[in-house]
Structure 1
Amino acid sequence: MNAPVRGKYWEDFEVGEVIHTPKRTVTSTDIVNFACLTGDFNEVHTNWEYCKETQFGEPIAHGPLVYSIVGGLQYAAGINDGTLIALLEINGWRMLKPVFHGDTIHAELTVTAKNETSKPDKGVVEMKREFKNQKGETVQQMEVKMLYKRRQA
């Protein structure tokens, strides 16, 4: 028996709709674990003494770490659970502000377009993603295209 699908199908998205994900606090452990996982031990992420001399004053989270956390938050919001097929494209990915340990982030996802595909069981949803910190500042933004399941006819 299959688990019930709680995700949104292509038909469920509305252009102009804004979806808010849950929030999550980024920890020093997250930053260190991401460095270990990827092998990216750049000092701006891992060396407190080095960072004291930078504009940040302390280590910052890797840009792809923030992206990855928000991917988990998008799943936690329920929209991808059992309905997302694939991430197709990322455009205009911009890192606007650093994310520090202790920052609490979430995403605001605005549906900008929906397109049918040649396959009746799939459709493309385009979104503007804005990742925000606890102050409401946008720390990253991008536009994405994602492939979602369509409802059975």
Structure 2
Amino acid sequence: MASGRRGLFWEDFEIGMVLQTPARTITSTDIVNFACLTGDFNEVHTNWEYCKITPFGEPIAHGPLVYGIMGGLTYASGINDGTLLALLQIDGWRMLAPVKHGDTLHAEMKVLERKESSKPDRGSVRMQRRFVRHDGTVVQEMEVTLLYRRRGSTQPAQAD
């Protein structure tokens, strides 16, 4: 977002456009807090001794934790501020590389498709989402379809 605007409307998304979020470093505290929040204490996330005999060598972040943090970074970027209505679909969510304590990640989103809705105040945008580590490794990828407000819509939208 070169212009620094916040809250892109449906009309602002162009096919091929690439948006990038700020970055954030994942910590052991993030991993432990997510385990506590969800109750997912799988040893691959929480047991240092167990992890020494895994290919990872140390605890790794939960896949949904990484997804959630990238959602927070997308919010922080302002892209969805006041214009996002709903997450409609996730397709092909793949975990490509482990995320460990100290990894710094950002999200890159490429607009693949825009569709008008049956309601004139909204439209959907399909994007390729890639979560990228500081060394350039893509750690997760997926396609998402999101519902956005259209320019000029002022009423709170209700689901289709």
TM over 0.5: yes
Q: Which amino acid aligns with 1:92?
A: G
Q: Structure 1 unaligned segments of length 5 or more: list them.
A: none
Provide the residue aligned with 1:92 in structure 2: 92
Mapped partners of 1:145, 1:63: distance in 2: 19
Q: Give structure 1 regions of 4+ aligned residues with deviation exceeding 6 angstroms.
A: none
Note the C-alpha offset of 1:54: 0.5
Alignment of 1:21 with 2:21, yes or no, is: yes
Q: Which amino acid aligns with 2:146?
A: M
Alignment of 1:128 with 2:138, yes or no, is: no
Mapped partners of 2:11, 2:121: distance in 1: 11
Q: Indicate the SS of the match to 1:29.
A: helix
Q: Indicate the SS of the match to 1:54.
A: coil
Provide the residue aligned with 2:140 in structure 1: 140
Note the C-alpha offset of 1:6: 2.5
Q: How does 1:54-69 map to 2 (within 5 A)?
A: 54-69=54-69
Note the C-alpha offset of 1:68: 0.3
Percent identity, please: 70
Q: CA-to-partner distance for each residue in 1:18-49, whole Å, 9 max, x for gaps?
A: 00110000000000000000000000000000
Mapped partners of 2:82, 2:117: distance in 1: 19
Q: Which amino acid aligns with 1:127?
A: M
Name the TM-score, length of structure 1 as normaliser: 0.96
Note the C-alpha offset of 1:77: 1.0
Q: Indicate the SS of the match to 1:109.
A: strand
Note the C-alpha offset of 1:94: 0.1
2:51–2:58 Cα contact (<8 Å) kept: yes
Provide the residue aligned with 1:81 in structure 2: 81
Q: Which amino acid aligns with 2:118?
A: S
Provide the residue aligned with 1:53 in structure 2: 53
Mapped partners of 2:30, 2:129: distance in 1: 22
Note the C-alpha offset of 1:152: 1.4
Q: How many residues matched?
A: 149
Note the C-alpha offset of 1:129: 0.2
Q: Which amino acid aligns with 2:21?
A: T
Name the TM-score, length of structure 2 as normaliser: 0.91
Q: Give the superposed CA RMSD.
A: 1.0
